[in-house]
Amino acid sequence: MASQPVEPCTLALFGGLGDLALRKLFPALYQLDRAGLLAADTRILALGRESGEPATHMAEIGEHLRRYVPAGEVEEGAMQRFLARLDYLSMDFLDTDAYPVLADKLGPVARMIAYFATPAAVYGAICEGLAAAGLAERTRVVLEKPIGHDLDSSRAVNEAVAAHFPENRTYRIDHYLGKETVQNLIALRFANSLFETQWNQHHISHVEITVAEQVGIEGRWGYFDQAGQLRDMIQNHLLQLLCLIAMDPPSDLSADSIRDEKVKVLKALAPIAPEQLGQQVVRGQYVAGNILGKTVPGYLEEEHANTHSDTETFVALRAEIRNWRWSGVPFYLRTGKRMPQKLSQIVIHFKEPPHYIFAPEQRPLISNRLVIRLQPDEGISLQVMTKEQGLDKGMQLRSDPLQLSFSNTYRSARIPDAYERLLLEVMKGNQNLFVRKDEIEYAWKWCDQLIAGWRQQGDAPRPYAAGTWGPTASIALITRDGRSWYGDL
Ligand code: BG6
């Protein structure tokens, strides 16, 4: 990371005492400060509904910082410098009278970033308030996901924001785009002609994208139950990963060139008709089970749970992209809560050689796989076929990995959190890693038809025990095509 500070700005953080701000945003800003990337006069104003003394709330922010920044990375000097930039203002985001008070508090501002870490339902009111108080002109707005819960509601949010902020000052977050290894997909694909020439239906048989989490709902039942895993993870993170894997090479690295290519992929995603859902999509909901030797409750037994909920905590599906590059290549997507481990990984399965000359029993071994591990143990491995060593081995084949482990290669470098990168890019005014309005809308359109199909079919989620890889139907989903999930996880 370069250590030249970016231009100074005032960051107004709406939802400044919320979970996201405390767990992710303040630690990320602290790390930017520690790396020398925040200009001396950059200020951060946390805005929350919570009344009381600002000093009390700032102390609370400080305590959380010390909790969430790894111990070895808490440097007292940097911590004090960071805390000195902070201020707190209590305000009701829906109250129009609160915005002139905010403007007074801010004073003259050359460049402002308004970060909305609040429910999307209040984005419109915040934008109006900022505009009415004369705070919109030099401001970039950052919108957290989820933006709406379907196409119509996301359009309404986007329009309410667009009434005051043009697209080139609107930064929609999908934090997966800020992950170092996700950005590496662009380097891997477009800086290596080796892969790019093979990246199509002539050479690739299928693609797997798995984003598994070990955690359950973690006190977020109210939000999660309204959303479910399809809206919470597939509509954004998994479809973004799919786009980065499937898109055509952009003509340059500009934000719009990349986003234009991603949109083409989203537009080419084949809808899944209600009558195909049974074969192509599996919904699951975890029941009590065992994780790391501990019994954990089922989804319906979590704190504040509605015991009749049929919200899914797991989705596996088989998607198809209708274009020349990907015709006939299934993309298997799988994501769930309470899986045996936290794992985000993409596996590209290459086709068998066109003419097979080795012993028939070795045939199942034959196929190259490119495994891109996004988290944990970030790295890339390419499974290649070699011959067993030894006089007595004949032409016995084995599959060996060519490994590139980022954690080993860059042993001394810490991998920055996604939010560090994203906040830095907003400060620089670079929209590459943010999602454009039409991307969000095409992603919703595709997810909406799945949700409508589930409703029409009365499709209830299938139970799976916490600590397993989802309902058995998700295994059948892929074995029906004569394949299995990589590593038979
Ligand atoms: C968020 C989802 O967007 O991503 C959460 O709302 C999920 O439900 C989280 O836990 C996963 O992010 P990460 O970076 O831990 O993989």
pLDDT digits (tens, 9 = 90+) for 296-352: 999 999 988 888 999 999 999 999 999 999 999 999 999 999 999 999 999 999 998
Give pLDDT, residue 101.
97
CB-based contact 195:175 (threshold 8 Å): no
Q: Say how many Å lie between the CA of residue 325 and the centre of ligand 1.
A: 30
Selecting from 3.20.20.140, 2.60.120.260, 3.30.420.10, 3.40.50.720, what CATH number does the domain 10-174 have?
3.40.50.720
Per the DSSP assignment, residues forming a β-bridge with 47 are 14, 89
Task: Return d(Cα 483, Cα 478) in angstroms, integer.
Answer: 6
| Among 226, 172, 207, 157, CA closest to 451 | 226
Closest C-alpha to ligand 1, atom 6: 232
Task: Return d(Cα 239, Cα 445) in angstroms, integer.
Answer: 12
CB-based contact 112:87 (threshold 8 Å): no
Sequence ranges of the chain with CATH classification 3.30.360.10: 179-417+435-479
Closest C-alpha to ligand 1, atom 8: 232
**pTM, rounded to two decimals:** 0.94
Structure tokens at 61: 């922010």
Q: Please state the atom number of ligand 1 nearest to the C-alpha of residue 236.
A: 3
Of all helices (H) and strands (E), which one includes residue 106? Answer: helix 98-106
> One-letter amino acid identity for 147?
I
Task: Return d(Cα 442, Cα 114) in angstroms, integer.
Answer: 26
Task: Return d(Cα 184, Cα 189) in angstroms, integer.
Answer: 8
Q: Is position 202 annotated in a ligand binding site?
A: no
Percentage of residues of the chain with pLDDT beyond 70: 98
Q: Say how many Å lie between the CA of residue 176 and the centre of ligand 1.
A: 9
Q: Say how many Å lie between the CA of residue 247 and the centre of ligand 1.
A: 23
Q: Say how many Å lie between the CA of residue 87 and the centre of ligand 1.
A: 28
Task: Return d(Cα 252, Cα 213) in angstroms, integer.
Answer: 34
Sequence ranges of the chain with CATH classification 3.40.50.720: 10-174
Three-class DSSP category at 205? strand
Task: Return d(Cα 131, Cα 4) in angstroms, integer.
Answer: 32
Rg (CA), the chain: 24
Task: Return d(Cα 253, Cα 352) in angstroms, integer.
Answer: 33
| Among 325, 141, 199, 172, CA closest to 255 | 172
CA angle 107, 41, 108 (to 5 degrees): 15
Q: Is position 481 annotated in a ligand binding site?
A: no
Closest C-alpha to ligand 1, atom 11: 213
Q: What are phi and psi of 346, to 5 degrees?
A: -120, 130
Q: Is position 179 annotated in a ligand binding site?
A: yes
Give pLDDT, residue 429.
95
Pairing between β-strand 294-296 and β-strand 289-291 as defined by DSSP bridges: antiparallel
Q: Is position 262 annotated in a ligand binding site?
A: no
Question: Tokens 């309204």 appear where?
Answer: 226
Q: Please state the atom number of ligand 1 nearest to the C-alpha of residue 344.
A: 16
DSSP 13: E
Structure tokens at 270: 């084949």
Q: Is position 49 annotated in a ligand binding site?
A: yes
Give pLDDT, residue 223.
87
Task: Choose which residue among 144, 175, 238 to substitute to test ligand 1 binding: the one with the highest number of ligand atoms within 8 A of its C-beta.
Answer: 175
Q: Which residues line ligand 1 (CB under 6 A)?
A: 213, 232
Helical H segments across 198-298, by residue range: 221-227, 229, 239-246, 255-268, 277-280
Q: Is the dihedral of CA 180, 185, 189, 194 positive or negative?
A: positive
Strand intervals (E) in 62-219: 86-90, 112-116, 139-143, 170-172, 204-212
Which residues does the chain have with pLDDT short of 50? 1-2, 489
Closest C-alpha to ligand 1, atom 13: 176
Q: Is position 213 annotated in a ligand binding site?
A: yes
Closest C-alpha to ligand 1, atom 15: 213
Say if domain 179-417+435-479 classifies as CATH 3.30.360.10.
Answer: yes
Closest C-alpha to ligand 1, atom 2: 232
Q: Say how many Å lie between the CA of residue 24 and the centre of ligand 1.
A: 11
Give pLDDT, residue 394.
84
Positions annotated as catalytic residues are: 237
Task: Choose which residue among 224, 232, 312, 338 to substitute to test ligand 1 binding: the one with the highest number of ligand atoms within 8 A of its C-beta.
Answer: 232
Q: Say how many Å lie between the CA of residue 333 and the centre of ligand 1.
A: 16
| Residue 189 CB contacts under 8 Å (≥ 6 apart), including other chains | 195, 196, 199, 244, 245, 249
